Structure 1
Amino acid sequence: MSARADTQSSPIDSAKLLAAVALFLAGVAGFYWFGEFSVLYRALALVLVAAVAAAIALTSERGRAAWAFARDARQELRRVVWPTRQETLQTTLIVIAMVLLVAVLLWLLDMFFLWGVEALVRPGG
């Protein structure tokens, strides 16, 4: 990342972020306030308000930094070497087998401890 990410934001940037948050919250409140209208229209209006709020937020220094971070994360995600279907299936089967093995071992250990406690507290034992 660049060194600019460590700089403090200006009051104008803070005002932009506050306006974006206020606009989005007003959109959410409006979504519920106009409950008698169709959900489709209210959802479209909320998406529009959220887009405008995001556009306002992206004009600030923090918004641009967040956008750059998201862009870098997307590029990094493209570099990931994803496992093949066969590797995924084999790994899943190994995990399931190990879970079953540990479950049986814990069940046997529990039965052993139960037998030991019953032997200690059994009347006449």
Structure 2
Amino acid sequence: MATSQVETVVTGADKVKFSLAIALLVGAIVGFYYLGARGPLVQWSVLLVGLLAAVAVFLVSDQGRQLIGFSRDSWREVKKVVWPTRKETLQMTGYVCAFAVVMALFLWLSDKTLEWLFYDLILGWRK
């Protein structure tokens, strides 16, 4: 399977849009804390408007369009997944729980055997 190399070129306008989105995000957070004395309504309004503006500016940049494309492709791939039925899920959960119990018993038995071997037979500490 051959993959093609895609080279992306970021223009100056996209850099400005990305920088503006970051500045809006920082401004929204700073405004949220700076306007704390004005009340929670003003505080949260400034934060929400700033975040929405930052997201809008980011989504019209090249990086934002790439993120939207990636999200669409990811959603398309998730739709192709064959999810297990309820019966299969319960069976696999039962297998995992049974395996965990068997391993717990094996480790407990191994621990007790080594404890008996070292402390009782070799060292003679438990008499």
CA distance in 2: counterparts of 1:8 and 1:56, whole angstroms: 19
Q: Distance in 2 between matches of 1:123 and 1:82?
A: 56
Task: Specify whether residues 117 and 124 from structure 1 end up closer, same or farther in structure 2 by C-alpha distance, changes over 3 A only.
Answer: closer
Equivalent residue, structure 1, for 2:55: 54
- Per-residue CA deviation, residues 67-109 of structure 1 (Å, 9 max, x unaligned), is 1001111111122111111111111111111111111111111
Gaps of 5+ in 2: none
**Residue in structure 1 matched with residue 104 of structure 2 by the alignment:** 103
**How far apart, CA to CA, are the structure 1 residues paired with 2:125 and 2:94?**
46
Q: Deviations over 1:28-63 (max 9, x none)?
A: 23223333422x654454333222111111121111
For structure 1, the residue ranges without an aligned partner over 5 or more in a row are none
Q: Secondary structure at the match of 1:6?
A: coil
Alignment of 1:25-104 (within 5 A): 25-36=26-37, 37-38=39-40, 42-104=43-105
Query: How far apart in 1 are the matches of 2:31 and 2:6?
Result: 34
TM-score normalised according to structure 1 size = 0.81
CA distance in 2, matches of 1:44, 1:4: 44
- Name the CA distance, whole Å, in 2 between partners of 1:102 and 1:83: 26
Which structure has more relative contact order (CA 8 Å, sep 6+)? It is 1
Assess if the C-alpha contact under 8 Å between 1:27 and 1:46 holds in 2: yes
> Which of residues 100, 120, 123 is equivalent to 2:122?
120
In structure 2, relative to structure 1, the CA distance for the partners of 1:52 and 1:122 (3 Å cut) is: same
1:21–1:93 CA distance, 2 compared to 1 (3 A) = same
Change in CA separation of 1:9 and 1:115 when aligned onto 2, cut-off 3 Å: same
CA 122–35 in structure 1, closer or farther in 2 if over 3 Å, else same: farther
Q: CA deviation at 1:10?
A: 1.4
> In percent, how many aligned pairs have the same letter?
34
